[in-house]
Amino acid sequence: MTDPAGTPGAQAATVGAAALAEDAAPEAEPITRRLGWAFWLCVGWLVVIVMAAVLAPWLPLKDPDANLVNRDLGRPPYSPSSDFWFGSDLDARDVFSRTIFGARVSLTVGFVAIAFGMLIGGTLGILAGYFRGWLDRIISFAFVVLLSFPALALAILITSLIDRGLLTISLTLGFLAIAPVGRLARATTIQYSDREFVVAARSLGARHPRIIIRELLPNVVIPMGALALLGMAVAIVAEGGLAFLGLSVEKEETWGKLILLGAGSRELENSPWIAMAPILILFLTVLALNFAGDKVRAYFDVKEAAL
Amino acid sequence: MNYWLQRFGTSVLLLLSVSALTFGAMNVLGDPLFNILGPAARSTEVRGTAQIEGYAYQAGKGNSTVGLVVVDEADELAPGQALLVSVDDELPMRTDTIAALDSVTVEGGLVSIADSVTPGDSVFNGPDPEQLFKVAQAEKEFYLDKPLPERYGRWLGDFVTGDMGPQFSKTGEPPVTDLIKERLPRSVMLLVMAQSLATAIAIPWSLWSASKANKTVDKLSTFSTFLIIALPNFALGVILKYVFAIKLSIFPQTFNASDPFFSRVWQMFLPALTIALPAAAVYQRLLRTDLITTLQEDFILMARSKGVSRRNVLLKHALRPSLFSFVTVFGINTGALIGGSLIAETIFRVPGLGSAVVEAVATEDFPIVLAIVMIVATAFVAVNVVVDVVYSLIDPRVRR
């Protein structure tokens, strides 16, 4: 118990963190401390999709729930055209506007989940890393227990027990983010808590809250910011996975539910665009989040830059 | 020895914590009885409509307890009469026609015949005896009358000995254990196939990639691993199903449990590939990095200068020492892939544990979900322990 690094849970923990960070394998490429045009392309895409999601009700989009039956086109589903950009589904609803409105829910889930995980996990991790001792042991063991659950199993368990509203789904996924985020925060705090500027602050008579907030927090926030981007991608994907198990947000449409709707054999055969359009948008968003997260992590990684 | 004892103790503690968390969640997040049975748990409070001789009676404010005849044995009921059962001092809870009389169980209650009931009167209709039976069964199976720690202990004992409770959505039969016995082998087979495929893809890929390190093809392959990892497994499954099962018709779209073994393997190929591709991308990245490191070692230079061909250097000299971290990640990833297999199963209609979860969620049959979550979590912890043990056997340094 005194040796959390050797426990099987700790093994799982490293993988959990790695899974959250998608792939943290060191690359044998020359290190450049530039973000590069690809990074800004990703940021551009994220800005576009977030703006579209936020402004969806005011954009000139078709009503996502309206059955836009068009007699000239015959029976729905309609294939993609200048009228229906991404085609329509079996009920003649516009797939493009449904995907944009789905982004509202999916991005909200991703954002709320990772914000919740950051808040709770970050706080616990910093406290554990700063105070050490018995508090650290309890919190670390709690992290190990959380990480020895396969994330999806825990998500299935909680979502099948509670009502599946937007907030509860987001908080469930946020709960799953607590342990990986917390471990990163704890490790980073430990790394910094013996540094000269912390010792200096302490010897000048600064109290714990001041040291934590003014000295440690700014240093811990940066690596966590990179993890936030990666974690948001994981949360969005996790929501999609839950949708395929029938456990996603009940009322609103999400990307996962939109894909599931078009994933039946008959739908795929006759109208593949119902599933493929949201898949494309989801893929681009996850790709952009992963890439941007990776770049931010590499950009601020002091160790890597010092090499 | 001390090391193994500590290792064993930690794993047991972890398993206990995981099961306590699972079982605790069921008991703490809301009413446990409701969690287990869903709306059926409310059946003890149900007051609805009664159907007597084809007439529907609405439950209303006024009740027809007036003119009740208390009888010891109600074996005859004339048309228009309703059977009312009152338990303790409660108002009559249940009416029945004579046809369903034998299914009524009355314990310490009064059986009354309301002979003044005529079409249009309001009577109370109590809970369905079948559902009452379910409630009693659930209370017994999950020891709901016991305090929480004892409840957990008894339930864990049952679970370990293979009693996972009845399937409430199917009148309790067959028990959940039988369902798991039927479904688990398919999920395990899917996982084994997926891991074999992932390894079969990752090793040649990484060898090829590492031998051309930092050339354009290598950069392209690294970029493609990035793309594959960004594609969620359910999206990959849908795309594979569309391309290979529907457009090209190479693989069947669904799984048929009654087919012979080899055609079932064939049917499982696409779901296995769905899980294997992202895993292969992760393994490829790891192996490639390790291989590149190994290829810079002196013994590789030595082998090359002795005149060993590039191919043999890669396969016989470089691969083995590079497999070290791959073995660990391979093992731990097995646990993580269980989640992916649940989703792949639902896309390709493989009746494994994942499909069982979907069905159980749809029918609100929580004991199945509980059993599957427990199995998945236990497997995850167990796999981690095995990996840990294997790892410390390969590399004694871990033991210190």
Mean pLDDT for back-to-back runs of 10 residues, chain B (400 residues): 80 85 82 76 51 33 34 42 47 42 38 46 52 77 83 86 77 77 88 92 90 86 90 90 85 75 82 91 90 87 86 84 81 79 86 85 82 85 80 67
Taking only the tens place, the pLDDT of each residue in A203-239 is 998 888 898 888 888 888 888 888 888 899 989 998 9
Which of B10, B239, B358 has its CB closest to that of A245? B358
A296/A25 Cα distance (integer angstroms): 15
Q: Provide the chain B residues 348-377 that lie in CB contact (below 8 A) with chain A.
A: 354, 357-358, 360-362, 366, 369-370, 372-373, 376-377
pLDDT of residue A282: 92
Q: Do A247 and B361 touch (CB under 8 A)?
A: yes
With beta carbons under 8 A apart, name residues in chain B contacting A247.
361
pLDDT of residue B172: 58
Q: pLDDT band at A18, cuts 50/70/90?
A: very low
pLDDT of residue A139: 92
pLDDT of residue B140: 80
pTM: 0.77
Q: Do B238 and A259 touch (CB under 8 A)?
A: yes
pLDDT of residue B42: 65
- Residue A11, pLDDT > 50, answer no
State the average pLDDT over residues A107-119.
Answer: 93
Which of B292, B358, B376 has its CB closest to that of A150? B376
Taking only the tens place, the pLDDT of each residue in A43-86 is 999 999 999 988 888 887 777 777 777 777 777 777 777 777 77
Which of B10, B21, B229 has its CB closest to that of A8? B10
Q: pLDDT band at A127, cuts 50/70/90?
A: very high
- Residue A124, pLDDT > 90, answer yes
Q: pLDDT band at A32, cuts 50/70/90?
A: low
3-state SS, chain B, equals CHHHHHHHHHHHHHHHHHHHHHHHHHHHCCCHHHHHHHHHHHHHHCCECEEECCEEECCCCCCCCCCEEECCCCCCCCCCCEEEEEECCCCCCEEECHHHHHHCCCCCEEEEEECCCCCCCCCCECCCHHHHHHHHHHHHHCCCCCCHHHHHHHHHHHHHCCCCCCEHHHCECCCHHHHHHHHHHHHHHHHHHHHHHHHHHHHHHHHHHHHCCCCHHHHHHHHHHHHHHHCCHHHHHHHHHHHHHHHCCCCCCCCCCCCCHHHHHHHCHHHHHHHHHHHHHHHHHHHHHHHHHHHCCHHHHHHHHHCCCHHHHHHHHHHHHHCHHHHHHHHHHHHHHHHHHHHHHHHCCCCCHHHHHHHHHHCCCHHHHHHHHHHHHHHHHHHHHHHHHHHHHHCHHHHC
Q: Do A11 and B18 touch (CB under 8 A)?
A: no
pLDDT of residue A191: 85
Assess contact for A86 and A99: CB atoms under 8 A.
yes
State the average pLDDT over residues A155-183.
Answer: 88
Taking only the tens place, the pLDDT of each residue in B63-122 is 333 333 333 343 444 444 455 544 444 444 444 443 333 333 334 444 444 444 444 444
Domains and CATH numbers, chain A: 89-306 (1.10.3720.10)
The CA distance from A273 to the nearest CA of chain B, in Å, is: 11
